[in-house]
Structure 1
Amino acid sequence: MGVEGCTKCIKYLLFFFNFIFWLTGGVILGVALWLRHDPKISTLLGLEYDGNHAPSTFYISVHILIAVGAVMMVVGFLGCYGAIQESQCLLGTFFACLVILFACEVAAGIWGYMNRDMVTKEMKNFYDNAYDSATKSNMQEKNNAATLVLKAFHETLSCCGKGTGTNLLTQLTDITGITNICPSNTFTSCHDRINELFHDKIYLIGIAALVVAVIMIFEMIFSMVLCCGIRNSPVY
């Protein structure tokens, strides 16, 4: 009875974790598809896609997000349905997918750390494009796509502007009501914040990746324990 109770507990824990996993994948996929197909985003950021040229880093990142979101939804579904149906086949497939995702996460983390200077440069370029587009069009429309992207940068990183000059200028235009871009009393440039994030505080990204990796390891353990419990159950 104790073993059956433990198996049932693991079953519902696995379902819960995978439902959150599936839901997160759906959100990522939805946002990525919006970024890819909303013409306002690419036009305002100056990143129009031309099939005759190589896609920009922006589009490459969006396509990666689409793939990640789709894979997370599929894996989450396998985990949820496999746990509820107590299917050894689905749980085995789920375990194999998690192993692949775990290996990809480790590889991506190593690649990101080795190429953090390039990632920092690309992030600054993306921010600069968003800033230039938002400030040019903000007088006509204060809630356009570029402005929303820029405000997300500013609120997440608690920064404003490409440097001291643009920071003070934008603060002034915000005070006078011409723009509405920066958080109040924020005098750190976003270039400095991006440098800090990918160099001085890269351990925060590492901690986040470690938390995800630990959750994935527990899910792999739970799926194997549940699979063994199903195999050893007298019902089967």
Structure 2
Amino acid sequence: MPSKCRRKASRVFEEDKLLSSRRTEGEELGKRQVFSPLARSQRKPHEPTVNVSPVTRGPHVFHPILSKPTTVTGKRSGVKSVEHSAAKMGCFGFLKMMMFLFNGIIFLAGAAVLGVGIWVKVDSGSILAFLGKIENAPAGLSHVLNVGYLLIAVGALLLVIGFLGCCGAVRESSCMLLLFFIIVMVVFIAEVAGAVVILVFRPLAEELLTKFGEVAAKNIHKDYGNNSDVTGLWNATMSSLHCCGFYNSSDFVGSPYYNQHHHQYPPQCCLPTVQLCNQTIVDSDPMVTGCFAKIKKLIEDNMAAIVGVALGIAALEICAMGVSMILYCRIKSRGD
């Protein structure tokens, strides 16, 4: 009887050992099926696979077979990458919006200046009547009648710059943005060159002013009293600045007005109470000087404001060039 029990116990032990070995072989086979590329490629569609999906617990991943935690880094790096891309897109959109608004204002201003210039050259009579209805309007406001071509040129330039900036930003056109950058850079270089000539090369600037004065004096001598545009320009200038001629009253000697009015000078060359402005009265009133001296004094008195405005315009131009180049490089990099 005891021997029979021993044989039965030995048989149960052998069966348990066999089952344990088979279970171990099954686990090893499952590992090979999961991690072997050849096994995965040779596995038939109907064959079952071992579920080895990782389980996430907190910041670690537990694998059901390996049972070793691995830190989750891919997810965090992906989130950071998405956040970085979103920040870039937000900055790009903000620059586009600022470019559009800034150049939209320039475009509207250019359209207004161009319209006024065309109006001046086409129908100066109606604009004179319009300016006459403005209450407390400065006397120099009528200057626009004599700078029609200048207004047209400035308005057209502003119109082109504003159009290129707006459309280049909205359509994300690298060609338009590059043209915008080039035009603004040319204008900026011209302004810097003019400032250098005025501040550094003083003799050259004085020579240019002297030549301009000679041209202005000849213009008065030839056309004042005969050409309505020239006459209106000088009348408005002398009334607003309280001056007489470019250098002095002698600029009007021999002019059509001087000959037609029996050697009389324009009323602006004398005090308002004087009826006939002749040579004797002009010589007795030293307060009436030439317009060149008045303009020079006006510039010297307002030099701080002029420099501030010039620096502000230069800063805006630099910002516009910088933003346009950033957008251009961004669009080109996305296109490539």
Task: Tell whether the structures are fold-level matches, with TM greater than 0.5.
Answer: yes
Instruction: Report the counterpart of residue 16 of structure 2 in structure 1.
Output: none
Report the AA paired with residue 159 of structure 1: H
Instruction: Report the counterpart of residue 210 of structure 2 in structure 1.
Output: 121
In the superposition, relative to structure 1, how do residues 174 and 13 fare at CA in structure 2: closer, same or farther (>3 Å)? farther
Looking at structure 2, the residues matched to 120 and 29 of structure 1 have their Cα atoms a distance apart, in angstroms, of 31
* Structure 2 segments unaligned to the other structure (5+ residues): 1-85, 124-146, 251-264, 278-286
Looking at structure 2, the residues matched to 213 and 108 of structure 1 have their Cα atoms a distance apart, in angstroms, of 13
* Structure 1 segments unaligned to the other structure (5+ residues): 39-60, 139-143, 180-185
Report the AA paired with residue 121 of structure 1: T
Residue 212, structure 1, aligned to residue 313, structure 2 = yes
Over the aligned positions, Cα root-mean-square deviation in angstroms equals 4.7
Looking at structure 1, the residues matched to 236 and 114 of structure 2 have their Cα atoms a distance apart, in angstroms, of 16
Instruction: Report the counterpart of residue 102 of structure 1 in structure 2.
Output: 188
- Is the CA contact 2:169–2:177 (under 8 Å) kept in the aligned structure 1? yes
The sequence identity of aligned pairs, in percent, is: 28
Looking at structure 1, the residues matched to 106 and 309 of structure 2 have their Cα atoms a distance apart, in angstroms, of 15
Classify the secondary structure of the residue corresponding to 1:136. Answer: coil
Aligned mate of 1:148, from 218, 232, 236: 232
Greater Cα shift, 126-135 or 220-229: 126-135
Aligned mate of 2:103, from 6, 10, 18: 18
Looking at structure 1, the residues matched to 172 and 108 of structure 2 have their Cα atoms a distance apart, in angstroms, of 21
- Is the CA contact 1:75–1:94 (under 8 Å) kept in the aligned structure 2? yes
- Is the CA contact 2:116–2:151 (under 8 Å) kept in the aligned structure 1? no
Instruction: Report the counterpart of residue 41 of structure 1 in structure 2.
Output: none
Instruction: Report the counterpart of residue 323 of structure 2 in structure 1.
Output: 222
* Cα offsets for 1:87-130 (capped at 9, x unmatched): 22321332233223322322233234433213332443455456
Report the AA paired with residue 188 of structure 2: F
Report the AA paired with residue 102 of structure 2: F
In the superposition, relative to structure 1, how do residues 171 and 102 fare at CA in structure 2: closer, same or farther (>3 Å)? closer
- Is the CA contact 2:99–2:323 (under 8 Å) kept in the aligned structure 1? yes
Instruction: Report the counterpart of residue 173 of structure 2 in structure 1.
Output: 87
- Is the CA contact 1:120–1:194 (under 8 Å) kept in the aligned structure 2? no
Looking at structure 1, the residues matched to 109 and 275 of structure 2 have their Cα atoms a distance apart, in angstroms, of 37
What TM-score do you get using the length of structure 1 for normalisation?
0.58
Residue 159, structure 1, aligned to residue 245, structure 2 = no
Looking at structure 1, the residues matched to 207 and 148 of structure 2 have their Cα atoms a distance apart, in angstroms, of 17
Higher-helix-fraction structure:
1
Classify the secondary structure of the residue corresponding to 2:225. Answer: helix
Looking at structure 1, the residues matched to 299 and 169 of structure 2 have their Cα atoms a distance apart, in angstroms, of 38
In the superposition, relative to structure 1, how do residues 148 and 164 fare at CA in structure 2: closer, same or farther (>3 Å)? closer
- Is the CA contact 2:108–2:159 (under 8 Å) kept in the aligned structure 1? yes
In the superposition, relative to structure 1, how do residues 153 and 224 fare at CA in structure 2: closer, same or farther (>3 Å)? same
In the superposition, relative to structure 1, how do residues 122 and 72 fare at CA in structure 2: closer, same or farther (>3 Å)? farther
The alpha-carbon deviation at position 149 of structure 1 amounts to 1.3
Instruction: Pick the structure with greater CA Rg.
Output: 2
Report the AA paired with residue 119 of structure 1: L
Looking at structure 2, the residues matched to 105 and 69 of structure 1 have their Cα atoms a distance apart, in angstroms, of 17
How many residues align? The count is 200
- Is the CA contact 1:120–1:198 (under 8 Å) kept in the aligned structure 2? no
What TM-score do you get using the length of structure 2 for normalisation?
0.44
Looking at structure 1, the residues matched to 208 and 148 of structure 2 have their Cα atoms a distance apart, in angstroms, of 15
* Cα offsets for 1:119-164 (capped at 9, x unmatched): 33244345545655786359xxxxx3223312443466x3321367
In the superposition, relative to structure 1, how do residues 23 and 171 fare at CA in structure 2: closer, same or farther (>3 Å)? same
Looking at structure 1, the residues matched to 215 and 115 of structure 2 have their Cα atoms a distance apart, in angstroms, of 20
Instruction: Report the counterpart of residue 58 of structure 1 in structure 2.
Output: none
The alpha-carbon deviation at position 68 of structure 1 amounts to 6.0
- Is the CA contact 1:102–1:216 (under 8 Å) kept in the aligned structure 2? yes
